[in-house]
Amino acid sequence: MKKRSMRALSLITAAVVAAGGLCACGGSGQKATAAAPDAQASGEAAAADGGEKKEEAAAPSAEAKELSWYVGEAESHAWSQISYDIAKDIEEGTNGSIAIKVYPGATLGTQAEALDMLRTGSLAFEITGPSILASFCDQVQVYSLPYAFDSAQQAYDYFASEGSQKIFNDTILNASGVRTLDIWYYGDRNLTVKGLEPETPADLSGQSVRCMDTPIAKTVVSALGGNPVPINMSELYLALQTGVVIGEENPVPTIIAQKFFEVQDAVVLTKHSVHMGTVEVSEQVWQSLTEDERQVITDVLAKYRPIIEDRINKETEEGLEFLKENGMKVIEPDLDAFKANAEKVVEENFGNDPEWKAAIEDLNNFKANWKK
């Protein structure tokens, strides 16, 4: 059993830790690499291709356009690994007219610094999350509200909707010069606790639960029934160990990578957030590409979206088994009770703001008419 647990831990800790947000920040100083070191990601890409050679979409170029691709996650994370395959496919699909260099592990700086580089055109692509764009349109954080989506597919479809595209590629694009090409699945966020086994939000009443220091993050913890306490990710393990807070919320791979299972008793499958990231491109760079090149990039992103989701789901499934083997109880709570409380808390916090009210109504109307 111990040997099996160690194998599982090795797999899961390969997923980089989300620093309580959509992706980790901070540079590591390592050099960028252009070749994919992970055979698994490459194998998945080949399987998706079905073994068929793609038709070349662009004429040969005497001088390739060298574009940089920023990922905040560590090189071992699924987002980074698959970015290498994406870069390779784009180069092949454009017959060498585009050469992408992947910079994982936030080697070019923080997410905010990368966003500034996107705006000036000194960076081509950034894998980040909707909240990084909130200074241009606060309502983009509708993606981070508790129980915003029931599934990754629902989130994908909402991204393509008129209301969502107006936020991303009208309001934010015009204000920032940053275009959002796609959204990627990061995993479902769940609650971990110590000393209790909550089945409903009422069971968490008065209990301190860690959150990021943002209004949306505090709303999420309040929706779960807890008392939100902002704590930096770097300080969270000690805060859990000493009882400053009794719980936190994160995707399963993050729970394992941060070793929270050592200081928590149970994981509660609240699934309160279908956590999505975004693929951004500098509008200056995008407009410098040919129509054929843009189409290749769009097609390659569409190809790898389900591959990323499958990879994250596999890591989550293996992670839950690892947590069980290491003494954590897995609790399946009353999701209807959590969703009802979330609806009430969101209304209390955002219902009186006309712009937020419009954004939430647009999302709810979409969900009411959404079909798988």
Model pLDDT, residue 365: 97
State both tokens at 291.
């129509």
Q: What is the pLDDT along the chain (372 residues), one digit of tens a residue?
A: 444 444 444 444 444 333 333 333 333 333 333 333 333 333 333 333 333 333 343 444 568 999 999 999 888 889 999 999 999 999 999 999 999 999 999 999 999 999 999 999 999 999 999 999 999 999 999 999 999 999 999 999 999 999 999 999 999 999 999 999 999 999 999 999 999 999 999 999 999 999 999 999 999 999 999 999 999 989 999 999 999 999 999 999 889 989 999 999 999 999 999 999 999 999 999 999 999 999 999 999 999 999 999 999 999 999 999 999 999 999 999 999 999 999 999 999 999 999 999 999 999 999 999 988
Which residues have CB under 8 Å from 55's CB, separation 6+?
none
Residue 153 CB neighbour total at 10 angstroms: 16
Which residues have CB under 8 Å from 22's CB, separation 6+?
128, 129, 130, 131, 132, 186, 275, 276, 277
The contacts found for 83-88 with CB under 8 angstroms, 24 or more apart, are 83/127, 84/33, 84/34, 84/35, 84/36, 84/37, 84/38, 84/41, 84/42, 85/36, 85/41, 85/42, 85/44, 85/45, 85/304, 86/300, 86/301, 86/304, 87/34, 88/36
Total structural domains within the chain: 1
Residue span of the structural domain in which 179 resides? 2-369
Model pLDDT, residue 32: 37
State both tokens at 41.
């990601």
CATH of the domain at 224: 3.40.190.170
The answer to whether the predicted template modeling score (pTM) of the entire model surpasses 0.75 is: yes
Give whole-number Cα distances, 116 to 68, 122, 163, 308, in Å. Answer: 14, 9, 25, 26
